[in-house]
């Protein structure tokens, strides 16, 4: 059997269930047993580093993060790479957002240490942004910005409409890479940033190759990662585009511990009862 050295896991819709929870004891047992086999687990997510550090606060064995869809790489507590947006592009994107007929339910800018949320969304609850503040003008944003996120979680337009906005963004702004992030959202990243590129950098730094990596994801921002990995798994609940390119599909979805069960089966691990 092929010797896998790395496991990359997405977070939302993959590890987390639809209520943003995961089985911490089970996850920690999996990470510990993988380490005993010489396998590194890497969290590869569109979330900010701030959010990921909060989510995995009770999982100290997790040392490697590809955050912001590849815009930031952290290994053993040290930032190895980061690629923020040019501020002029952020200004253009904010102006473009104002022209949308269907305004988003939330607009946020992911900074180096916190999330900046447009003041017009001050009444929207954001429990998934552990540290955040509100801005009226871009001049108030005093940190590098890695991701602009638009979300229509209340209006819930057709996914085809959201994908048309992704296409429009990529056509209109060559300096960015827009991708559907799942849950009615769009991530707008600097051009040249995606999970596959970030993972390749980190895996190479750890002395490995991408064909030694197994990856798990659920939506469009996982496409490059799933295609580039030695073996790419789509979650049972994954979007159609990801299911179409994945090497394998998990037996269970994210609401039934599908990720951890699949990893346990692949590596012959014991899960807590």
Segments of the chain with pLDDT less than 70: 1-2
Q: What is the CATH number of the domain that holds 168?
A: 3.30.1240.10
At CA 47, angle to CA 46 and CA 50, rounded to 5?
150
CB atoms within 10 A of CB 202: 25
Domain boundary among 190, 206, 229: 190
Residue in 234, 220, 216 with CA at minimum distance from that of residue 177: 220
End position of a domain, from candidates 190, 205, 233: 190
* Contacts (Cβ under 8 Å, ≥6 apart) of 270: 29, 33, 264
pLDDT digits (tens, 9 = 90+) for 44-65: 999 999 999 999 999 999 999 9
CB atoms < 10 A from the CB of 227, how many?
14
Residue showing tokens 């943003």: 20
Kindly state the helix (H) or strand (E) to which residue 44 belongs, with its residue range.
strand 40-44
Token pair belonging to 2: 């092929």
pLDDT at 2: 62
In sequence order, the β-bridge partners of residue 233 are 216, 248
> What pLDDT, on the 0 to 100 scale, is given for residue 267?
96
Residues 77 and 147 in one domain: no
Say yes or no: 126 and 166 in one domain: yes
Domain boundary residue among 145, 170, 190? 190
Q: Is the pTM of this model over 0.85?
A: yes
């Amino acid at each position: 059997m092929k010797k896998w050295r790395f496991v990359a896991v997405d977070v939302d819709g993959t590890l987390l269930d639809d209520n943003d929870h995961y089985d911490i004891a089970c996850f920690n047992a999996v990470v510990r047993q993988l380490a005993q086999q010489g396998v590194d687990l890497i969290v590869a997510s569109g979330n900010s580093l701030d959010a990921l550090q909060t989510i995995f606060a009770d999982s100290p064995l997790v040392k490697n993060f590809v955050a912001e869809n590849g815009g930031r790489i952290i290994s053993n507590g040290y930032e190895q790479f980061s690629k923020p947006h040019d501020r002029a592009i952020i200004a253009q994107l904010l102006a473009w957002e104002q022209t949308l007929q269907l305004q988003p339910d939330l607009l946020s800018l992911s900074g180096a240490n916190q999330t900046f949320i447009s003041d017009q969304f001050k009444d929207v609850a954001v429990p998934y942004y552990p540290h955040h503040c509100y801005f009226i003008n871009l001049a108030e944003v005093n940190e590098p910005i890695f991701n602009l996120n638009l979300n229509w979680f209340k209006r819930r337009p057709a996914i085809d409409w959201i994908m048309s906005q992704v296409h429009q963004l990529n056509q209109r702004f060559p300096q960015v890479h827009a991708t559907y992030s799942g849950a009615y959202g769009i991530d707008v990243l600097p051009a040249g940033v995606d999970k596959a590129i970030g993972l390749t950098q980190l895996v190479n730094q750890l002395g490995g190759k991408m064909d030694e990596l197994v990856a798990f994801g659920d939506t469009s921002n996982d496409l490059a990662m799933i295609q580039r990995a030695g073996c790419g798994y789509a979650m049972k609940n994954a979007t159609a585009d990801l299911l179409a390119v994945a090497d394998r599909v998990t037996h269970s979805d994210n609401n039934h511990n599908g990720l951890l069960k699949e990893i346990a089966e692949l590596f012959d691990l014991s899960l807590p009862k």
